[in-house]
Structure formats: C-alpha cells, structure tokens
Structure 1
Amino acid sequence: MFQDFSVKTNPETGAPRLAALREVLAKRGLAGFIVPRADIHQGEYVADRDARLGWLTGFTGSAGFCVVLPEVAGVFIDGRYRVQVRSEVDLAAYTPVNWPQTQAGPWIAENLPDGQIGFDPWLHTHSEIEAIRAALAKTAVTLVPCDNPIDEIWTDRPAPPLAPARLHPPELAGEASASKRARLASALHGDSAAVLTQPDSICWLLNIRGDDIARNPLVQSLAILHADGSVDLFAEGAKFSPDLLEALGSDVNLCPPESFGAGLCALSGSVLVDPASAPYAVGPILSEAGATPHYATDPCVLPKARKNAAEVEGMKEAHHRDACAMAEFLAWLDAEAPKGELTEISVVTALEGFRRATNALTEISFDTICGAGPDGAIVHYRVTEKTDRPINAGELLLVDSGGQYVDGTTDITRTVAIGPVPEEARAPYTRVLQGMIALSMAQWPKGVAGSHLDALARMPLWRAGQDYDHGTGHGVGAALCVHEGPVRISRASTLPIEEGMILSNEPGYYRDGAFGIRIENLVLAVAADKGPEADSQREMLHFETLTWVPIDTRPVLVELLSQAERDWLNHYHATCLAEIGPHVSAPTAEWMEQACAPI
C-alpha cells in the first residue's frame, strides 16, 4: 500500500544534473531554460516520464517551475511548498523563489542582462509564454522555443504509460458521449473544431476512464472535436480494446499520438484553442497550416464542472461509503494512538486499508497527507521512509486523504488531537472550524464568484491576525480528478459558482515547526429555498454538505463559538450519526456516539 518515492527525489543529484543542463544550454547558445512541472496536457499530476522538474531539482510538489540561468537557478513555489522545497532541493544549487508574488518575467529581467531563454513549446501554454514575453519586452532577453534539453541528458527516462482504457458506465455518466459531443459541437459558434488537450476533458466527453496517471483515472490523450460532433482521438491504440472502440462508435476516430501535429495541419478556418491549457506549440502549427487559432476556454470545462443528477448521486454514494471507512479509521486511531506505537506511515497504511475494505475502492485519489506535530505545518507533506516520525501524545495529527470509486471521488481532511491538546493550538483550531462552518452556512446571489466566498472562511483567522497560504476550495471531479478546474474558492477566482459544482471547503492554519490544522468537507452548490423576505426575482445558492465524518471537538474552545456555530456543529454530528452510524461496526458505532455528542 504505502509507496516511498524518496529514491526519485534525492537532493544530492540536483547539482550534477544542473551542471549537465547548463553545459547543453551553452552548446546551444542559450543563456537559460524554463523547466515547468507540467506535461503536454498541463495537468497537476504527471507521469514519471514527464516529471522533469522533479528529476532535475528534487522538488516533488504539484505546482511550480524552475528557471535555469548561468549564475542562478530559481525554483518557483507557492505558499503550500515553501517549507517542503527546502528539504527536497540542494540549496547550494537552487534558490527557492516565492511565487506568484514573484513572477518569472521580472525575475529573469533582474537576474539576466541579455540572452536567449529556451522553452519547450509543448510544455507551456500560450498565456504563460505571452505573460513572460510581455515582462521582458523592454529588455535584451528573448524567449525562444526549442527541443527539450533535459530529454537529452535524462538517459534513463521512463517509458510512456500504457494502462488500458475503460468505459465509464452510462448510468454514472448521466449522458451519452454522442449527446455531449453534439451539444458541445453546436456551441462552437463558427469554429470548425476545438483542440482538447486536457485528459479529464477528453475522458468526460467520451465517457472513458484509465490509469495512466497515478491516483487519477485518466487516459493520456489529445483530441480534436469537430463541428459535426465527431472526434479525432490521439492516443496509444494498445490502450483500447475492440469492445471499447465499438462502444465509442464510428464518430470517434482513434489516431496515433505522433499524428497530432498532422491532425492540426489538416484543420481550416477558425479553430478553438484554450490559451490557459493548450500547449503553446498548437497556435503556430495552426497558423502555419492556414487555420486561425481562436483563443477561448476549453468547451468541456464548465459542462464538466456542472455535475448532472446521475453524477451527483454517484458522488453522494461514494461519500457515504468513504465516510464509513473514515469513521472506522478514526475509531481505530483513537484506540491505537495512546499505545504510542503508531508512526505516520502506519497511519497512512491503515487508512488505505479501511478504504480498501469497502471492496469498492479503485485507487486513493491522491497520496495521503499525514503530518504529525511539526510535519502537519507542511501543507502538502508526503511522508517517506526517511521522514517517518512517531505519533506522539500532546500533538495534532493532520490527515488529508481521499478515495477514487467507480461512482465518485472523495477528499477529506481531519485534524485530530493525540492525547492532551496543545494549548496554543486550541484557538487557531477553533477559528479554522469557524471558517469552515461559515462557508458551509453561506448563502449568496447567483453570479457571485469564489473570491467573494473565500473571505468568509478566512475572517475568523483574520480577526486574530492569522491566515493560510492556499486556496479555501478547489473543484472536484465526478470519478475524475480530485483537483478539477476551473471553479475555485480563492482570492484569485473570478468564476461564478453555479448549481451542480462540487468544491472542497478547507480553511487551515499552519505554525512552522509546531503544528498544522485543516478541516475539509466537500460541498455541492444547489439552489437555496427562498425565504419569506427574499427578493422574488433574486436567485440564491448555498452549499449542501457531502462529507459526513465526525470533526474532533476536543481542541475546540466552545466559548469562542456563536450559538449558530454550535447549532451547525451539533446538527452536523447528529446527521453523521444518523447517516453513517448504522453502517459501521459495533465498536465504531459506539465511538461515534461519543465523537458526535453535542457540545
């Protein structure tokens, strides 16, 4: 069950690999090179073959990039990874750079007087490259596309994934692929085709799933959706059985991946290309072939984010099943932790075991985050054999985990007190809980974006001069990626939240070297009932909770909670007990009676 990836991320390899890269760059006449985390699909998770950033630097986070210059190599990381990066990279060779506060363009201009910076046009988006070019416009530094020099020095690069593709059951998809294709094709509005490069968009559109990317049920592929509703699918033929091809139908044309460029060259007229997700290379290829790139949003992303009734029902079933496994785990943890024999790895292994005991788990939805004491302050901490530490009394244990089931995807975080609660953690824990409750109780007019709701979850912490360096919520796929765009609850999100969107609700607080706190449920945006004083013409939304797992009340300073917050928490726990209690083992049901007791 537990997999230790530390062998792949040895800081000691960073300096010699960096030196080898600089040698190749010098031979090519390049002053630098940009190494993204992304692959051709621009997804959060990449196959081992495409983990160039990790191979070069040792940094394993899910977001970031490196800019290699002659005298400095900056590893750009956001607030989730500022502690983690310092333990994974050779700090004598690489310089962590706080991003997005510092952007690549201005940083390059400050550190390089002139020269050419190379980039792989298949690993960056149009928007990304244009933003850097704009920042360098008044400098003597230019960006030039080139073949990837890392592929030249990475001699033992893994092979591409070849996991079998499979049909996503129609009763769970809620709409036939032909219907989706026709619906989206009719909305192209003058475009002859749309280029699709995100595997989750393609999997949703074609009602297929796969296992090419760990923890995500994806088929690595590219596609072109034509205005007549047909699709050219560029993927390895070995992944598709005759039965699956028959199910896809004659309007889906399976093509070799290497023919994608030729497929682009065959297009004419206006062609939709998403500037935020399609590789930069797509635009020039279309233009050189005589087509006109029309930069607009991937037509699949919003329909995919608005879950239909069948997808919502599947997600509810998955969350009920997952909640039973989580309750069994938390009861086990409360019984075993006082014995003093648990470590972070043993907790991760046990939790996956409880999920697998449902006999319905296809995979965990991401590598479990299990941080005890100071490790909990590392937002996306991944325990390894080297970092594994005991679960000690007097600490908080943060466990962020989830499951992939055929009918849905889950993501849940609970922070649990092990023995005596650290006094300095009580007030922050209570404020995080208040923020999670505030978002759970929120009601807002249709058209309000995630940036507005984000402040509700942060307000209790802000009042105390505290905050957290990650978004409050991300979209979640229906039996797809646990992190799904484009909807978010964050300061930067301007996209309105709509009915059917499923998001996480996960405020947190992290004290470096001491503890981390995060409490997370998944929620579904639904229409709110209009009260007697509501404007008759104003449509309102609110969140329906999907996650029914007890929240540890032992660290809570009850006197800080308002009556409304206490009522919400007590009602939540009463629902947990009613919905989940009858479906767990007798010892866990007894534990739930105590864990769900009113405060």
Structure 2
Amino acid sequence: MRQSFDETTHPSFGAKHLPLVRARMAEQGLDGFLVPHEDEHQNEYLPEANERLAWLTGFSGSAGAAVVMKDRAAVFADGRYTVQVRAQVDAAQFEILDLVEGGVPAYLEKAPKGSVIGYDPRLHSPDALATLRRAAAKAGAELKPVDVNPLDLAWGDARPSQPTASVVSHPDQYAGESAASKRKRIGAAIEAKGADCAVLTAPASIAWLFNIRGGDVIRTPLPLGQAIVHANGTAKLFLDPRKMTNELPGWLGEDVTSENPATIEAALGELKGRRVLIDPAQSSAWWFDRLEAGGAEVVGGMDPCTLPRAAKNPVEIEGSRQAHIRDGAALARFLHWVNTVAQETLPDEREVAEALERFREETGALKDLSFDTIAGAGPNGALPHYKPVTRTLRRMEKGSLLLVDGGGQYLDGTTDVTRTVAVGEPSADQRRMFTLVLKGHIAMAVVRFPAGTTGHQLDALARLPMWMQGFDYDHGTGHGVGSYLGVHEGPQRIAKMVNTQPLLTGMILSNEPGYYREGHWGIRIETLQVVTEPTAIEGGERAMHGFEQLTFAPLDRRLIDVDLLTADERAYVDAYHAETMAKVGPLLDGEVRDWLERQCAPL
C-alpha cells in the first residue's frame, strides 16, 4: 500500500535535536537561525533528506517554519495544522505560533538588538528574504547567509541520502507536445523577455519542459534537478548521474546536454555578461548570488514554464478526463463500500483510507497517491487537513459524518476529490449545512466569466450561500492541479487572498467549499474542473469562459435538502449525476452499478 501515515511517537522527537543545532550555531557565531519548510527546490512534499523542519521540531506538515535563538525557539504553522503541530511539537521547547498572522517576520521584529541570525541561501527565495530582512532591521538585528547549514552539520551522518530515483520519459501521447517544441516555445519567451537564457530550478518545470518524470518526491513524480535553457532552445540539464537511464540521453536529444549537478556553479560562471532570466519567487537566493558574483546580468521574472504548464493542452485535458473517469469508477466502488459494508462494521479512519487506495490500485493504472488521504470521522472531519494517525484515530460512528479527501497519480492525469458521507441517518442540521456547501459548489461550477478574471474575483460566489446564513470556511476554494504532476499547482487559485493571475483556458482547478463544526463534524465537496475557451452567450455581448467538470463521483443524496435548492440547482445536480452514470456506469457491474444508478437518479 502506498498510503503513508505520520507515526512520530512523541513530541521530544524533534526537541532532542535543538541543543545540537545551537552548538553548531555557536561555532558559526550565530545568535539565531531560520529553518523554513522549503528545501533547495522549493517543493511542497520533500524527500526525507530535506525534511529539516520535521527533524528539528517533530512537525511534519507541508507548510511551516521555525526560528532557533540561543535561549528560545518557535515553530510556525497555519490553520490547517493547528491540532497536528500541538500534537507533534514539544511546547516546553518551542513556542507554537501562527504562520500567517504575523508569522516569522513578526517574530524577527522582536529579536535582540545586535543579534546575528543565520539563514541558508539555498532555502529562501529573494522575495521571502526581502520581507525577513526588513523585519530583522526593525529590531536592529542582522540576517547573515551561511555557507554550511548548521542544522545539516548537527544532523550529520544520520541524515538520509538524497534520492536517486530513475528519471524516465513522459511520452508525447500523454504530454501532448514534444520536448523539442516546448524548448522552442520557451526559448522564444526567454528572448521576448530580453534575456539570453533562463535558469530553471523548479522540479515541475524541469519535468514539464523535458517531458520527463521521476520518483524523488513522494506523491509527485518529480525529478530533482535544474536546467539552463537558451533562447535558441538548447539546454543543459543537471541531474545526478545515478538517475540517468540508458534511454534518457536519446529521449532528451542532441540539443540537451546532461550535466552533473556538481558543475552547476561553474556553469553559472560561464554566463558572465549574459542576461539571465530567473524567477525570484521560485528560485532561492543562492542562484541570484552566484549569478551576480559571476558577472551575469540577472533578469527577474516569472519562470517561463509556469503558465504554459498551467494551461493544459488538448491532449492533457483529454488525459485528465480519462483519468477522472477511471478514478470515478474506483470512487464509486469505494462509496458503495462506505454506504454498505462500512455502515455496519464502522471501520476506523486508517481502514477507510486504505480501502480507498485499494480500489484505486485495482484500476491497474495507479502510479501513486497524489497526497496522503484525508479520512476524518466525526470531529476529525472538522480539521480540513487532518491525516489519520495512531494517536487520533476514530471509528466511523452512527449519527455523524465521514469526510474523505484523496487523489491518484496516473500517467494521463492527477485527481483530487472530496466526498462527505452520512453515517446512519443524518440530522436536519447536517443536511442543511451540506446543502449550503453544495449551493456554493454549484455556483462555482456553473459560473461564466470574462477573460482577465482572477480566481480571487470568483471566490465569494462559493461562499455566498453560507455568508447569507452567517457561516464561512477558512481555506481557499480552489487550487491549481498539474498533469501527472503536483496536486497543488500555481499560479492559479481561487481564494480570498488576492491573486493577480487571470484564469486561462486549460487551467485545471479544484472547486471545494466546506463547512467545519469544531468538535462535531466537517463537510467538504470537491471536484476538479477545467477552464473552457470563451464562448458566446445567447443575447450577450462578450464571450465568456466557464468550467467543464472533470470529476465524476455521486453526492450523498441523503444529505441534500432539496427544499433549499432552486430549480436550477436541482437541475444541475440531476445533470451531474446523469453524466456520472453515463461516464462511470459502463466501468461497473453488479450491485455497485445498481447502487450507482440509485444514487444518480433524479432528485
């Protein structure tokens, strides 16, 4: 089974490493040190060798940070991890603070005057460092780069080795465009920016541009590496030689030179006098420092692969459709199991998560999960990013709800879907709140919008039914999703937080409003949808984008209060269920198909 569970046994796991780090800090003349969650590649999910924050503190969430001072330390996590961080971190050693409200900058503003606070330039982007420098300056403190990370020194020989998973080709039948064509396009974009070449450090960009995939990072098929791409479309690709397969050089072609990462610094030095495009939001400060020291002219700008990667081509969109239909059959079998066998045996959350993966495995096409499955029974469902771990496991219980959020990585697409299921007979209150969430979900599914519209501008539509009744949720409404890449992909998103990136044809996003009653249960409905080309609306003046639904899995009709839906909303649910039956039904038989037909019957 690919499902992984955090099994950190005690909060002292991380705290015991704190004195070791402080000793190394003292050797380097540091009064403090910054420990971000991000690694050298700015990944969301990290290889074990780069889990520095978890090693130091015990906190294993996918977003966070820590600051270690001589006499105190703090861990920062956002609202998704409020319960997890307190369970994993020794509060006697680390103050636990909010990552968003104030965060690390506010902490640095209170640093002792004259203190020297170290940072590893490989782990911080220039944009992030600028904010941290301003905060330290307010306190009269100094931020100082280090050549060798004191945490790495303290970790020593116990630190796991860097991953060396084989890098493989991602055939054009899935990519929809050859790597040579992509390099030509990206070369033209580099030239349009007035640059001679671009340095790419984001693993997702490396995977997309060269049509390769790897296994260096759990849940995302990424090869960790870097590249220098020239305006003429030629490139140097820096990959650990141990990752190279016999067929890879031929796949990359004559215009791509494979290089050892040990030669990167020298290669940057060869760019003296050249104009080099590099993304200050995705690449670490180390790259900027080395380019400037070597005499290159740095051109700050968005990674040129970001938008082409986000706006999927027709082949990728069709692949996503097929992946979701296949995944939908697995979900139908899982939901049938939840609504029959599990309603009687009341399994625990781990057994629920393992069952969902088992059904996905049975498709014969699953390469990995796209993230660790969230299976929250009762009160645990009220924790939006809860993971089933031994200390908090609950069983399904009558009269409550089960929230399950999971996804799969397939060669032709990445899936992510959440369904909420009643255990036993739902209460009127549960039905009301589910239906309010559903109304917001429908509003986001059917919206039409003009070119130039951002996800930030749409976010309120999903919240309005709940706002009108005095409710809200504290996470974003939608995130971008990759094509057999990351389940979280930028720059597109739908959220309260301002985002200036317009939604473009081919971008895939989630639609996932929710409601969470602390101590009781949680509700979330999530499907993936793709932005369609602008089309005319009869009687209108401007062509409008819309969304095409990709995910097909039945809603729990027991939780729908039909009286709260408008006629158009009821029609949407009936049409969605009819399409689910038409697309997923042919992959099913027997009692599962019969069950799905009942679930998809008109309201």
Q: Which residue of structure 2 lines up, in the alignment, with residue 201 of structure 1? A: 205
Q: Which residue matches 1:246?
A: 250
**Match of residue 496 from structure 2:** 491
Compute the RMSD of aligned alpha carbons: 1.5
Distance across 1 between alignment mates of 2:27 and 2:231 = 46
1:519 is aligned to 525
Evaluate the alpha carbon distance shift between residue 183 and residue 491 of structure 1 in structure 2; reply closer, same or farther with a 3 A threshold.
same
Given residue 581 of structure 2, which amino acid in structure 1 is its aligned partner?
A: L
Aligned residue type for 2:115: G
Post-superposition offset of 1:465: 2.4
Matches within 5 A, 1:225-374: 225-268=229-272, 269-374=274-379
Identify if the C-alpha distance between structure 1 residues 435 and 112 changes in structure 2 by more than 3 Å, giving closer, same or farther: farther
Aligned partners of 2:561 and 2:29: how far apart in 1?
A: 62
Deviations 1:364-387 (A, max 9, x none): 111111111111122111112333
Q: What's the offset of the Cα at 1:2?
A: 5.7
Q: CA deviation at 1:73?
A: 2.1
Please tell me whether the aligned partners of residues 220 and 486 of structure 2 are also in contact (alpha carbons under 8 angstroms). yes
CA distance in 1, matches of 2:112, 2:479: 36
Q: Out of 249-258 and 290-299, give the one that drifted further.
A: 249-258
**How much has 1:145 moved relative to structure 2?**
0.7
1:154 aligns with 2:144: no
Mapping of 1:383-422 within 5 angstroms?
383-422=388-427
SS in 2 for 1:6: coil
Distance 2:58 2:185 in 1: 44
Instruction: Supply the AA of the counterpart residue of 2:130.
Output: E
> Are residues 1:570 and 2:571 paired?
no
2:458 to 445, 453, 461: 453
Render the CA deviation track for 1:514-571: whole Å, top value 9, x for unaligned.
1111110000000243123211xx3310000001110112122222222221111111
Which whole-Å deviations, capped at 9, do the CAs of 1:58-77 have from their partners, x for residues lacking one?
11111111122234322222
| Counterpart code for 2:185 | R
* Counterpart in the other structure of 1:188: 190
- CA drift of 1:111 comes to 4.4
8 Å CA contact 2:32–2:68 kept in 1: the answer is yes
Residues 398 and 416 in structure 1, CA contact (< 8 A), matched pair in contact too: yes
The CA distance in 1 between the partners of 2:469 and 2:25, in whole Å, is: 49
SS at match of 1:527: coil
The residue matched to 2:529 in structure 1 has which SS? Answer: strand
Residue equivalent to 2:90:
90
Report if the CA contact (8 A) 1:9-1:54 is conserved. Answer: no
Shift of 1:31: 1.7
8 A contact 2:5–2:387 mirrored in 1? no
Q: Is the 8 A contact 2:378 2:400 kept in 1?
A: yes
Question: 1:74 aligns to what SS in structure 2?
Answer: strand
Kindly report which structure 2 residues correspond to 1:476-555, keeping only aligned pairs within 5 A, or say none: 476-492=481-497, 493-535=499-541, 538-555=542-559
Instruction: Measure how far apart 1:5 and its partner are.
Output: 4.1
Comparing 118-127 and 569-578, the one that deviates more: 569-578
Change beyond 3 A, Cα 1:59–1:423: farther
| Contact 1:370–1:381 (CA under 8 A) maintained in structure 2 | yes
Unaligned segments of structure 1, at least 5 residues: none
Q: Is the 8 A contact 1:9 1:59 kept in 2?
A: no
> 519-528 vs 336-345, which deviates more?
336-345
Task: Give the superposition deviation at 1:9.
Answer: 6.3
Structure 1 residues 8 and 224: CA distance shift in structure 2, 3 A: farther
Distance 1:324 1:39 in 2: 37
Q: Which amino acid aligns with 1:434?
A: K
- Total equivalences in the alignment: 597
Distance 2:83 2:474 in 1: 12
Q: Partners of 1:427 and 1:234 in 2: how far apart? A: 55
| CA displacement, residues 180-199 of structure 1 (integer Å, 9 cap, x when unaligned) | 10111112132121111111
Contact 2:109 2:138 in 1 (8 A): no
Shift of 1:106: 2.5
The separation in 2 between residues aligned to 1:197 and 1:10, in whole angstroms, is 35
Structure 2 residue identity aligned to 1:49: A
- Alpha-carbon shift at residue 341 of structure 1 (Å): 4.1
Decide which moves more: 419-428 or 163-172.
419-428
| Contact 1:523–1:547 (Cα < 8 Å) also in 2 | yes
Question: For residues 532 and 286 of structure 1, what CA distance do their matches in structure 2 show?
Answer: 54
Question: Distance in 2 between the 1:131 and 1:19 partners?
Answer: 28
Give structure 2 stretches of 5+ with no counterpart.
Answer: none
Q: Which residue of 2 aligns with 1:170?
A: 172
1:111-169 per-position Cα deviation (integer Å, ceiling 9, x unaligned): 43331111110011010001111233333111111121111111311111111111111
Would the aligned equivalents of 1:44 and 1:62 in 2 still touch at CA under 8 Å? yes
One-letter amino acid of the counterpart of residue 104, structure 2: A
Residues 123/515 of structure 1: CA separation in 2 closer, same or farther (3 Å cut): same
- Residue 374 of structure 2 aligns with an amino acid whose one-letter code is I
In structure 2, relative to structure 1, the CA distance for the partners of 1:347 and 1:5 (3 Å cut) is closer
2:18 aligns to what? Answer: 18
Give the C-alpha shift of residue 96 in structure 1: 2.2
The answer to whether the Cα contact below 8 Å between 1:336 and 1:342 also exists between their aligned partners in 2 is: no
Are the aligned partners of 1:505 and 1:522 in contact in 2 as well (CA < 8 Å)?
Answer: yes
State which drifts further: 346-355 or 457-466: 457-466
- For residues 483-503 of structure 1, the C-alpha deviation after alignment (integer angstroms, 9 at most, x for no partner) is 111111112222100101001
Aligned to 1:38: 38
Deviation string 1:447-475 (CA, Å, 9 cap, x unpaired) is 01010111111112222222222111111
Deviation at 1:103, TM superposition (A): 3.4
